[in-house]
Structure 1
Amino acid sequence: MNLYPTTPSSSYEQQQQQQQELSWEKISPDELLRRRDWNRGPLSDFFPRIPSKSLETVLDICISKNFVYQLSQPRWWNARRYTSIVIAHLRHNYTEYDALLRGEGGGGGVVQGEKVERFEARRRTGEKVWKVLREWCPWDDSNDQLERCFQATLMRPEERGAEWDPMDLDDEYELDDRTGPVDDPMDLD
């Protein structure tokens, strides 16, 4: 799995690549293993039926995003972040999402060579993603939260109000000011 973009198209992407390279260069092999173990438990708890190969891939993504379970955050905050990572993994590996973005998807009314905008591609692949997501997380008490998190990935950032939070389960939790697309945990790709 190549964790670094090959050809950054903007200075912002170059900055992101440099930050990622720096963070990876500073992490020892022992620290990488510790982070994998730290994330493995919560991921297995939230998605008890996730296949081993997908679990390992999602753990790699967590490390590449420099994410570990945050004890200082509420459980729902961590669940939202893990769910968004799993959804992105499903979208890219279990659906024709990437083919639609490249214009290689011939199904669903798309003409070969016609590129689809990413939120439209998300909408078209959403049913497959949801089906696998429900297989991996079978708990009925998680359905509402899981579905809100999933639905959030289908919404464009401009469709969300500043106060909008798909996981706003309790009024005591307020969104911070970091709601832009860069800091949006629901938008990984």
Structure 2
Amino acid sequence: MMFSHTSMSALPTSSAIEPVVRASSPMPPGYTFVPKGDPYLTRHCRRQTQEAHQVVYVVVDDKKKQIGIRVPIHIQASVKRSEIETRSTRKQLVRKSDESLEKHFREAILARFPRIPHDELPKIIHRATAKGKGRVGRTGTIGMDGKVRLAVQAHIRHTKTDYDGLLRNGTEREEARRLTLQKALDILKEWGPIPKKKQTPERTRKQTPAKPAQKTEDETAASKAVVPTNAAAEAGRQDDNTPTTTDTETEIMDEPQPKRKLKASSPDKAARQVKFASPLATAISVEAVVRQSKQATRQQAKRQRHNGKRHRAKSRLAQKRKAAQA
């Protein structure tokens, strides 16, 4: 016999095997309610019910907010026993996982902001890695470097500036961030790596080619004499292995001149400079993107309101003309 639920046309749909029902609807035979809040119970009850090819009912309140699920009684009892048996082991694993996350988070903060006061570290880590609050330290969509940057910026904004006070006094969030941006950037610069002094590379002396030796009057006269044939010149070279002045000069002139080597900038130095500038540049770019996005949203809403007014005016004018013709 198939259990019949009340009409669910006004309820949000979950899936074909997880119909959504109200908390006030009758409980299906052989089912029990598993309240939301224990991830272990919810996850295993849902998985085992689906593996048994039975229906998981998603339960919502009068505001259509999910408050739990309905699963078969025997599956809920089995999962409950398993939860009790593995509770201590799971707590140890969770504790180790949390300690590992906090350790890596601390190391990443010190690597990017080595001059940060050590008494600020526990506050940043505790807030960024808090469970069940959607904190940036536990998100899986951002890398560790991005998590550190956002966590430190948020800590500075809330504890080192008047950001919260501006919000309490009615200042818009975007305007409050703009007013406190410069102070936050100054603190980020103080906590960042120490900039190294720029070292001017030593200038290398320009290497000029060696000047050939000046010829004497006898050598000048000899150079104007008739050049011997190849055979005679070869015989002369075999008799005397010592090169003549003319040969030496030719070798000097034909020798390729050394080229000046340009010193390339050190990759490590460039990387350190980029790394130091990245928190400031990234913070400015994030604020600019948020500001541009909100400005575009306001302009789009303004255009929609304007178009709506024009459409309503045209409709009223058409109705008047139609009434006049009638």
Place the TM-score, normalised by the shorter chain, in its bin: 0.5 to 0.7
Equivalent of 2:277, from 119, 137, 144? 144
- The TM-score, its normalising length taken from structure 2, stands at 0.34
Report the residue type matching 1:55 in the other structure: L
Distance 2:119 2:129 in 1: 16
Report the CA distance shift for 1:134/1:102 in structure 2 as closer, same or farther (over 3 A): same
Q: Output the TM-score relative to the length of structure 1.
A: 0.55
Corresponding residue of 1:134: 189
**Contact 1:42–1:69 under 8 Å retained in 2:** no
Distance 2:121 2:146 in 1: 16
Q: CA RMSD in A?
A: 3.3
Aligned: 1:67 with 2:137: yes
Q: Which runs of 5+ in 1 are unaligned?
A: 1-10, 16-24, 104-114, 161-189
The yes-or-no answer on 1:86 pairing with 2:152 is yes
Q: For 1:115-171, what per-residue CA distance to the aligned partner results, in whole angstroms no more than 9, with x for missing partners?
A: 1111111111111111111011034412432122211342353625xxxxxxxxxxx
Contact kept, 8 Å, 2:129 with 2:136, in 1: the verdict is yes
The 8 Å contact of residues 174 and 291 in structure 2, kept in 1 or not, is answered as no
Which of structure 1's runs of 4+ aligned residues deviate more than 6 A? Answer: none
Identity of aligned residues (%): 26
Q: Is the 8 A contact 1:84 1:153 kept in 2?
A: no
- Does residue 45 (structure 1) correspond to residue 100 (structure 2)? The answer is no
Who is 2:100 aligned against?
34
Q: CA deviation at 1:79?
A: 2.2
The secondary structure found in structure 2 opposite 1:49 is coil
For 1:47, give the aligned amino acid: F
Q: Quick check: which has more Rg, 1 or 2? A: 2
Higher relative contact order (CA 8 A, sep 6+): 1
Comparing 25-34 with 57-66, greater Cα deviation is found at 25-34
Considering fraction of residues, name the structure with more strand: 2
Q: What CA distance in whole angstroms lies between the structure 1 residues aligned with 2:129 and 2:110?
A: 16
Amino acid at match of 2:285: A
How many residue pairs match? The answer is 125
